[in-house]
Structure 1
Amino acid sequence: MKGDMRRKLEKIKSFDEERLQIMNLSNMSLESLPKFSIDLAIICNLDLSNNNLQNIPESLTARLLNLLVLDLHSNQIRSIPNSIGCLSKLKVLNVSANFIESLPKTIENCRALEELNCNFNKLSKLPDTIGFELINLKKLSINSNKLMFLPSSISNLTYLKILDARLNCLRSLPEDLENLINLEALNVSQNFQYLESLPYSIGLLLSLVELDVSYNNIRTLPNSIGCSKKLQKLSVEGNPLISPPLGVVKQGLHVVKEYLCRKINSSHENNHKNRSWVRKLVKCETLNRYMRRKQPQHEDDDFDLDQYNSINCLSTQSPDFLGMFSPQRLFSRRRSSSFG
Structure 2
Amino acid sequence: NIPESLTARLLNVVVFDVHSNQLKSLPNSIGCLSKLKVLNVSGNFLESLPKSIDNCRSLEELNANFNKLRVLPESIGFELLNLKKLSINSNKLVFLPQSTTHLTSLRILDARLNCLRSLPEDLENLINLEVLNVSQNFQYLDNLPYSVGLLLSLVELDVSYNKITVLPDSIGCLKKLQKLCVEGNPLVSPPMEVVEQSLHAVKEYLSEKMNAEHKTPSKKKSWVGKLVKYGTFNGHMRSNNISNREESEGFIIPEYRSIDGLASPRYMGMFSPRRLFSPRNYFTR
Asked whether the two chains share a fold, i.e. TM above 0.5, the reply is: yes
Residue 249 of structure 2, aligned match among 296, 308, 312: 312
User: One-letter code of the match for 2:133?
Assistant: N
The sequence identity of aligned pairs, in percent, is 71
* Whole-angstrom distance in 2 between the partners of 1:129 and 1:71: 23
Distance 1:336 1:111 in 2: 59
For structure 2, the 5+ residue unaligned runs are 234-246, 251-273, 279-285
- The aligned residue for residue 154 of structure 2 is 208
| 1:168 paired residue number | 114
Distance in 1, Cα, partners of 2:176 & 2:184: 24
Alignment partner for residue 188 of structure 1, among 116, 134, 142? Answer: 134
Where is the helix percentage greater, Structure 1 or Structure 2?
Answer: 1
**CA separation of 1:288 and 1:56: change in aligned 2, threshold 3 A:** closer
**SS across alignment from 2:52:** helix
Deviations 1:30-69 (A, max 9, x none): xxxxxxxxxxxxxxxxxxxxxxxxx111011000000000
Post-superposition offset of 1:312: 2.6
Flag the 1:81–1:269 CA change in 2: closer, same or farther, 3 A.
same
Query: For residues 168 and 104 of structure 1, what CA distance do their matches in structure 2 show?
Result: 20
Q: Supply the AA of the counterpart residue of 1:312.
A: E
Q: CA–CA distance in 2 between the matches of 1:82 and 1:224?
A: 42
Residues in 2 aligned to 1:214 and 1:91: alpha-carbon distance in whole angstroms: 31
Q: 1:226 pairs with 147, 168, 172, which one?
A: 172
> Which position in structure 1 is the counterpart of 2:81?
135
Mapped partners of 2:13, 2:277: distance in 1 = 64
User: Partners of 1:336 and 1:234 in 2: how far apart?
Assistant: 54
Provide the secondary structure at the position in 2 that maps to 1:150: coil
- Structure 2 CA distance for aligned equivalents of residues 182 and 337 of structure 1: 51
* Residue in structure 2 matched with residue 119 of structure 1 by the alignment: 65
Deviation string 1:286-321 (CA, Å, 9 cap, x unpaired) is: x777x35xxxxxxxxxxx745xxx9739xxxxxxxx
Structure 2 contact 38–62 (Cα < 8 Å) conserved: yes
Q: CA deviation at 1:270?
A: 1.2
CA RMSD after TM alignment: 2.5
Deviation at 1:90, TM superposition (A): 0.1
288 and 338 in structure 1: CA distance in 2 versus 1, 3 angstrom threshold: closer
Query: Is the alpha carbon distance of 1:311 and 1:148 closer, same or farther for their aligned partners in structure 2, counting shifts above 3 Å?
Result: farther
Work out the CA distance in 1 between the residues paired with 2:166 and 2:248: 35
Deviation at 1:267?
Answer: 1.0
Separation in 1, partners of 2:139, 2:2: 36
2:124 is the counterpart of 1:178 = yes
The Cα shift of 1:235 comes to: 0.1
**Distance apart, 1:76 and its partner CA:** 0.3
Aligned to 1:236: 182
- Pairs aligned (count): 243
Q: Tell whether 2:134 aligns with 1:197.
A: no
What displacement does 1:80 show?
A: 0.4
Alignment gaps of 5+ in structure 1: 1-54, 293-303, 314-334
For 2:15, the equivalent position in structure 1 comes to: 69
Correspondences of 1:79-94 after superposition (within 5 Å): 79-94=25-40
Q: Distance in 2 between matches of 1:69 and 1:127?
A: 21
> What secondary structure does 1:148 align onto?
coil
The normalised TM-score by structure 2 is 0.80
Provide the secondary structure at the position in 2 that maps to 1:70.
strand
Equivalent positions of 1:215-294 (< 5 A) are 215-271=161-217, 274=219, 291-292=229-230
Partners of 2:7 and 2:277 in 1: CA distance: 63
Structure 1 residues 144 and 336, CA, compared in 2 at 3 Å: closer, same or farther?
Answer: farther
Q: What are the Cα deviations for residues 77-121 of structure 1, in whole angstroms up to 9, with x where unaligned?
A: 000000000000000000000000000000000000000000000
Deviation, structure 1 residue 212: 0.1
Distance 1:238 1:311, change over 3 A: farther
Aligned to 2:268: none
In the alignment, which of 76, 89, 97 is matched to residue 151 of structure 1? 97
Q: In structure 2, what residue type is equivalent to 1:116? A: L
The separation in 1 between residues aligned to 2:122 and 2:105, in whole angstroms, is 15
Q: Report the alpha carbon displacement of residue 274 of structure 1 after superposing the two structures with TM.
A: 3.1
Quickly say closer, same or farther: Cα 1:120–1:337, change in 2 above 3 A: farther
Is residue 47–residue 67 contact of structure 2 (8 Å, CA) maintained in 1? yes
Segments ≥4 residues shifted beyond 4 Å: 335-339
